[in-house]
Amino acid sequence: MIDLFVSAFLNLMTVSNILLMLVGIVVGIIFGAIPGLSSSMAIALFLPITFGLSQYAAFALLIALYIGGVSGGLISAILINVPGSAMSIATCYDGHPMAANGRAHRALGTGIVFSFIGTIFGVFVLIFAAPYLADIAVKLGPFEYFTLILFALMLIIGISGADLVKGITAGVLGMATTMVGLAPVDSVKRFTFGSYTLLDGFPLLPLIIGLFAVTSILKTSEKAIGVEDLEHFAYKKEKGWGFTLVEFFKQTKNTIVSAVIGVIIGFLPGMGGTLANQLAYATAQKTSKHPEKFGTGIMDGIVASETSNNASIGGAMIPLLALGIPGDGPTAMLLGAFTIQGLVAGPLLFKTSADLVYLIFAAMLVCSILMIVIEYYGIAFFLQAMKIPKGMLLPIIVMLSSVGAYASGNNMFNLWTVVIFGIVGFVFGKIGFPVAPFILGAVLGPNIESNLRRALQLSRASFMPFITRPVSLILLLLSLAVIISTAMIQRKKHQEEKAAVN
């Protein structure tokens, strides 16, 4: 193994490869930071370029785009409260409130450092545990996947608000949005009303952009224009990363738990950082000694989200390299790169092209270092966005969000999706419905439905395997425990509030 690593680093550390990785990281960060664009899109755009590159150069570039794209999403999530991709949704919950409170430097520094730690953790798990974790992933079926997604949804609902019924309703409504278009498994048309634009349903990225960007604009537009709208968002000038070494070590438990969640969710095909950041955030809040502070700009929330979604990179690479099965969108693009280079991802890759496999490992480590260096020196540049007056910044956000939404599908329906769900988010705020369960329902709806239908096909419409299979049963019991504990906590709060009034 050591010999292969030494050889991989020697092959990787050429002037041309280093320049390609630098370009890849910068471009990836830009694509990750612009709402509607993503690392998947960046890789797709650069795939044709790899035709003329060697195997080593091609994968050095693509890995850089992947790592830069995932980390770049934190920038827009923190500064403008619009996630660059679904992988950074949970970063908005505490990242933007911290920035709005004048601690944008601290929020960015926290996100960047723990993005790096999450990526490194995921890479080391990939290097040393890929074959073993891949074996576990193969043994899991649609029964386990369904109950895992159900557990994640229940956990988010449990921590998302004071009203359990509203939380469950929001989650169900989120899943209902995925019922539009062609059904999974049998491709039956549903709720398309004869419109071909609805065959693919509501696109996810425009939906998320609408819920964050347009909702924020609508909330702001309620207030009368004043002098404060001509002023910029204030922020405090800070040194280093914006947090102390003591604060860093206080996040040790949160970091480890979030990184483990990221890797585990990452190596489950079809899950990836989209679920990992939400589940890690919910876990951090559920186990925190001060859960009421989450959503107000607490460091713990940023740590959980950014550690987990970046750790999922290493996790998603496990099924790709060990089984030839992509773990998420970017790794699906990387699978295309293997085909372009005349390679077949899977178990034989470790024997036939071990030098390339270890070069990918080395590239992930080097790109992680390049990412943290570039983003650290970019903090001062990122903060310049905070100097733009609010009255100018908000229209710019709308413009960038609209461009990103249109670019994700190249059609006007995406822009209508942004507007529709912006209004939905605004109405939710008025009636007290939490947005987080709605988003997670929309994100996980296709997976939860397809896995349920496959499971029932395998069991011939019997629900018994959900109970007789150990992993599935444990996850169902955990889901039930979350709902019961949440209901009891909320009942106790209501009783205390009632007693206080009396």
**Residue-averaged pLDDT of the chain:** 83
230 falls in which pLDDT band (50, 70, 90)? very low
Res. 136: pLDDT tops 70: no
* pLDDT at residue 43 greater than cutoff 80: yes
- Quote the pLDDT of residue 498: 74
Give the residue extent of every domain in the chain: 2-234+243-501
Determine the pLDDT at residue 365. Answer: 92
For residue range 242-281, what is the model confidence (pLDDT) as tens digits? 899 999 999 999 999 999 999 888 877 666 677 888 889 9
Banded model confidence at residue 386, pLDDT cuts 50, 70, 90: low
CA–CA distance, 156 with 438 (Å, rounded to integer): 10
pLDDT digits 0-9 by tens, 70-107:
888 899 889 888 887 778 888 999 998 998 888 889 99
pLDDT of 227 > 50? The answer is: no
Return the top range by mean pLDDT from 123-132, 218-227, 319-328.
123-132
Give kind and range of the element (H or E) at residue 182.
strand 181-182
CA 464, CA 477: separation in Å to the nearest integer? 14
Q: How far, in Å, are 77, 106, 394 from residue 235 at the CA level? A: 16, 10, 17
Tell me the per-residue pLDDT of 99-113, one tens digit each, with 9 for 90 and over.
888 888 999 999 999
pLDDT of 234 above 70: no
The residue written with tokens 């995406």 in the block is 414
Is the predicted pLDDT of residue 373 greater than 90, yes or no? yes
Question: Please, is 238 exposed, middle or buried when counting C-beta atoms within 10 Å of its C-beta (0-12, 13-18, 19+)?
Answer: middle
In angstroms, the CA 259 to CA 363 distance is 20
Whether pTM > 0.85 for this model: the answer is no
Determine contact, residues 90/301, Cβ cutoff 8 Å. yes
Sign of CA dihedral 113, 309, 490, 466: negative
Of 235, 22, 29, the C-alpha closest to 112 is 29
**pLDDT reading at 307 higher than 90:** yes
Alpha helices for 383-469 (secondary structure H): 390-407, 412-431, 435-458, 465-468
Tokens representing 70 are 């995932």
Cα–Cα distance, 25 to 371 (Å, whole number): 6
Q: Which residue has the tokens 């966005």?
A: 385
CA 106/CA 95 separation, integer angstroms = 9
3-state secondary structure of 39: helix
Give DSSP secondary structure letters for 255-290: HHHHHHHHHHHHHSTTTTHHHHHHHHHHHHHHH-S-
